Amino acid sequence: MKVLLVEPPKKTWGVMGDYIAPPLGLALLAGVLEQAKIPVDIIDCNAHGIPFSGLREIITEAKPDIVGATALTPSFDDALQVMRTAKKANPNIRTVLGGPHVTFTAEDTLLHHSEIDYIVRGEGEHAFLDLVTCLERDKGFASAKSIAFRNCNEITISPDAPLIDVDSIPMPAYHLLPMQKYHFTVLDKYATVLSSRGCPFQCTFCSEWRFWGARWRPRDPKRVVDEIEVLHTKYGRESFWFGDDCFNHRSDHVAGICDEIIKRDLDISWFYQGRADSVIKQKELLPRMRASGNLMVQIGIESSTDSELMRFKKGLRTTQVKEAIDLLRKNDIVSQGLIIVGTREDNADSIIHKLNYMKWLNPDFPIFTTLTPFPGSDAYEEAKTNGWIQSKDYSQYDMSHVIMPTEYLSRDQLSSILYWCFKSYYMDPIKITKGLLSKNRWNRKIWKHMLKYIGRQILSSLRI
């Protein structure tokens, strides 16, 4: 049974610039299949510059029995196109789709998209392996967990599989990826690594905590740095993005990773997304984190008021965000802060308050995002129930396009205000001067990138 995993051609998010990200999820799946002696290969269309028009020939030549892909909500249509292309190449190919989007829309997806044969729900390593094994043995799916498929005219959804021991998962199959192709505008030769799975918090706008089982499961720090060392020494990766939902949840985990990096004298830089309150709890660790290569932290600021943070179930206060940003600056760690505009209660005044709050907080790299109703989130269920969702174009579910109006603002008005927030912050002469003259080299690089991005946005608006 030969498996081909495909990362489809994708459009990049403009604010992130020119980047190609390694498909870590597919590499993890491939590692598990290889361990089970199942032939597998990965085609990364983005890294190889393969358009959909060229994918059919590649699939035909590869002659796989199974073609699999992963679907985040904004890339769902791209993943569907992979399934269609596989069926055109050979109608007998079994097509499998996994990822957060289809996990939470499994029944609806199978009902409306005949090009998909099977859906893997939740974390996919063991479930996908079980599915492949069942197909290989042709003995039905009685033992398979966390999958969905058509059974005559009905949709069958099997029971959830137990959560995986994250330290039991083998090294991702990096040798199947063109590692030299991966880059990020300001991160140069980079790779993504997971040091944990899941999140113990239950923010209303997020579906990831539910996808990973509403628990935080850390990997052994030594195994994490073993992986980083391989990526650094064998593949020349210099910058590492921890793709964890909540990297800094526990101090001993962070300290263990820092100590391993320092002990091995790895000359690398690394970045993560985490919580502001954990930055405060770990303030004594910040110098060690910086010494081990931590250059940036992505903080979920989310709101400018405590009342809205409570509605988000964030478990955070605005005063904690301010303290965290100041601590990061004191330790020469760049802060990227994300704040949400377009909540149901938002009006022009409340969004101006959010903009002014961000200017007062003064994160190095603020990002204004729109409230996006991702399937699987509480926000999606509320919006769906109340009929607030006005776009089913999933390619726009990227936190930069407006999907819903507020009580007071239309989608077009929100789009204009979102653009204005970016322009107002990044075109501030004082902030430009401080950014471009910052002592932190990486901070200067970010500001140059963001000014180019805002400039392109302004030119685009003038053409209209």
Identify whether residues 208 and 129 lie together within a single domain: no
Element (H, E) at 370: strand 365-370
Q: How far, in whole angstroms, is CA 80 from its chain's centroid?
A: 19
* Whether 18 and 65 share a structural domain: yes
Residues 409 and 350 in one domain: yes
Tally the domains of the chain: 2
For residue 360, tell me if it sits in a domain: yes
pLDDT in tens, the chain (464 residues): 899 999 999 877 666 667 888 999 999 999 999 999 999 999 999 999 999 999 999 999 999 999 999 999 999 999 999 999 999 999 999 999 999 999 999 999 999 999 999 999 999 999 999 999 999 988 777 778 999 999 888 999 999 999 999 999 999 999 999 999 998 877 778 999 999 999 999 999 999 999 999 899 999 999 999 999 999 999 999 999 999 999 999 999 999 999 999 999 999 999 999 999 999 999 999 999 999 999 999 999 999 999 999 999 999 999 999 999 999 999 999 999 999 999 999 999 999 999 999 999 999 999 999 999 999 999 999 999 999 999 999 999 999 999 999 999 999 999 999 999 999 999 999 999 999 999 888 888 888 888 888 887 777 766 65
Same-domain status, 200 and 117: no
Q: Quote the pLDDT of residue 451.
A: 86
Residue 136 and residue 52 share a domain: yes
Answer whether residue 343 is part of any domain.
yes
Looking at the domain assignment, is residue 172 inside a domain? no
State whether 132 and 32 are in the same domain.
yes
Is 177 part of a structural domain of the chain? no
Q: Are 194 and 104 found together in one domain?
A: no
Q: Answer yes or no: is 269 within a domain.
A: yes
Alpha helix (H) residue ranges in 265-387: 276-281, 286-291, 306-311, 318-330, 348-361, 378-386
Do 116 and 20 share a domain, yes or no? yes
Query: Is residue 331 assigned to a domain?
Result: yes
**pLDDT at 27 (0 to 100):** 98
d(C-alpha 335, C-alpha 328), whole Å: 7
Q: Residue 385: give the domain boundaries.
A: 186-463
Looking at residue 14, its pLDDT comes to: 64
Output the domain CATH number for residue 207.
3.80.30.20
What's the distance, Cα to Cα, between the start and end of the chain in Å?
52
Backbone angles phi, psi at 38, to 5 degrees: -100, 125
- Return the sign of the alpha-carbon dihedral for residues 130, 135, 141, 143: negative
Task: Report the alpha-carbon angle 100-75-29, nearest 5.
Answer: 55
Q: Are residues 153 and 200 in the same domain?
A: no
Is residue 215 in some structural domain?
yes
Helix (H, G, I), strand (E, B) or coil at 257: helix
Question: Which amino acid does the sequence have at 140?
Answer: G
The Cα 315–Cα 147 span in angstroms is 33
Q: Phi then psi for 118, rounded to 5 degrees?
A: -140, 150
CATH classification at residue 25 = 3.40.50.2300
pLDDT at 389: 97
Q: Looking at the structure, tell me whether residues 390 and 267 fall in a common domain.
A: yes
**Lateral strand order in the sheet of 334-341:** 183-184, 188-193, 239-242, 269-274, 294-302, 334-341, 365-370
End-of-domain residue from the set 157, 177, 207: 157
Indicate if 149 and 206 belong to the same structural domain: no
* One-letter amino acid for residue 378 of the chain: D
Q: How far apart are CA 213 and CA 123, in angstroms?
A: 9
- Specify the pLDDT at position 425: 93
* Residue 159: exposure state from Cβ atoms within 10 A (0-12, 13-18, ≥19): exposed
Q: Give the number of other Cβ atoms within 10 Å of residue 275's Cβ.
A: 23
Q: Which of 353, 365, 282, 370 is nearest to 320 (CA)?
A: 282
Cβ proximity of 13 and 398 under 8 Å: yes
Structure tokens at 36: 């089970």
Q: Is residue 450 part of a domain?
A: yes
Rounded Cα–Cα distance for residues 129 and 315 (Å): 37
Four-residue CA torsion sign, 323, 324, 326, 327: positive
**Are 330 and 219 found together in one domain?**
yes
Residue 255, C-beta contacts closer than 8 angstroms, at least 6 positions apart: 285, 288
Of the candidates 110, 140, 157, which is a domain's last residue? 157
pLDDT of residue 463: 61
